[in-house]
């Protein structure tokens, strides 16, 4: 079945089309959830709710632009909505440390990098993922999370500092290539 047919079927609430869409995107969307939530059980809950939201909103998709991008955005917006409901995004400190540069040696396993990003405190991981992977500006992050631009910058710098320290421990080196 072609993607356009699957989407049209989902817009008509066709169960088989929904199953095709789910199977086609389950891995990608679960990976998105895991990027933001380190606990697999919690990520699974967000993943299931995200797909229900996609099925609910799919009638809004107008076949303009990438469906992958549209679906990714629905998931990320849903995750942001869940994080806004939590209180840990409140301002802690706006003293912005100097910009931290993190360099990644090509020999570092991707699994290790994924794990150390997952180990970041939630507010740091969220800002890091939005800035590095989703390419949000600090203003967009601030607007999405209800925090100040200074808090976004501070959280990103602290996330990078933690990652830098963990990478240095792993490699035994302080010389690493720059990570945004």
Q: What pLDDT sits at residue 113?
A: 85
pTM: 0.75
Out of 44-48, 74-78, 112-116, pick the least confident.
112-116
Q: Which carries the bigger pLDDT value, residue 32 or residue 113?
A: 32
- Nearest CA-CA partner of 159 in 86, 81, 82, 101: 101
The mean pLDDT value for 2-18 works out to 96
Q: How far is Cα 143 from Cα 136, in angstroms, rounded to an integer?
A: 10
> For residues 83 and 89, is the Cβ–Cβ distance under 8 A?
yes
> For residues 153 and 138, is the Cβ–Cβ distance under 8 A?
yes
Q: Would you state the torsion angle of the CA atoms of residues 111, 28, 50, 2, taken in this order, to the nearest 10 degrees? A: -170
Is the model's pLDDT at 30 over the cut of 80?
A: yes
> How far is CA 19 from each of CA 4, 7, 175, rounded to the nearest angstrom?
14, 11, 48
Give pLDDT tens digits for 125-152. 999 999 999 999 999 999 988 899 999 9
CA atoms within 13 A on the CB side of 142: 13
The mean pLDDT value for 78-88 works out to 79
Out of 35-44, 47-56, 72-81, pick the least confident.
35-44
Out of 11-20, 88-97, 159-168, pick the least confident.
88-97
Distance of CA 27 to the CA centre of its chain: 14
The pair of three-digit structure tokens given for residue 117, joined into one six-digit string: 């990003």
Q: What pLDDT sits at residue 10?
A: 96
């Amino acid at each position: 079945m072609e993607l356009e047919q699957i989407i049209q079927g989902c817009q008509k609430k066709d169960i088989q089309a929904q199953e095709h869409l789910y199977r086609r995107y389950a891995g990608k969307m679960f990976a998105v959830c895991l990027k933001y939530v380190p606990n697999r059980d919690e990520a699974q809950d967000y993943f299931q709710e995200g797909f229900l939201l996609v099925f609910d909103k799919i009638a809004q998709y107008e076949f303009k632009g990438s469906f992958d991008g549209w679906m990714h955005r629905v998931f990320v917006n849903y995750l942001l909505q869940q994080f806004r409901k939590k209180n840990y995004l409140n301002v802690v400190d706006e003293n912005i440390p100097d910009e931290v540069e993190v360099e990644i040696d090509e020999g570092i396993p991707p699994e290790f990098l994924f794990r150390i990003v997952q180990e970041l405190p939630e507010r740091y991981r969220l800002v890091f993922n939005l800035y590095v992977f989703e390419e949000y500006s600090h203003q967009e992050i601030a607007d999405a999370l209800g925090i100040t631009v200074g808090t976004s910058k501070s959280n990103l710098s602290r996330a990078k500092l933690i990652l830098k320290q963990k990478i240095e421990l792993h490699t035994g080196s302080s010389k690493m290539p720059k990570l945004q």
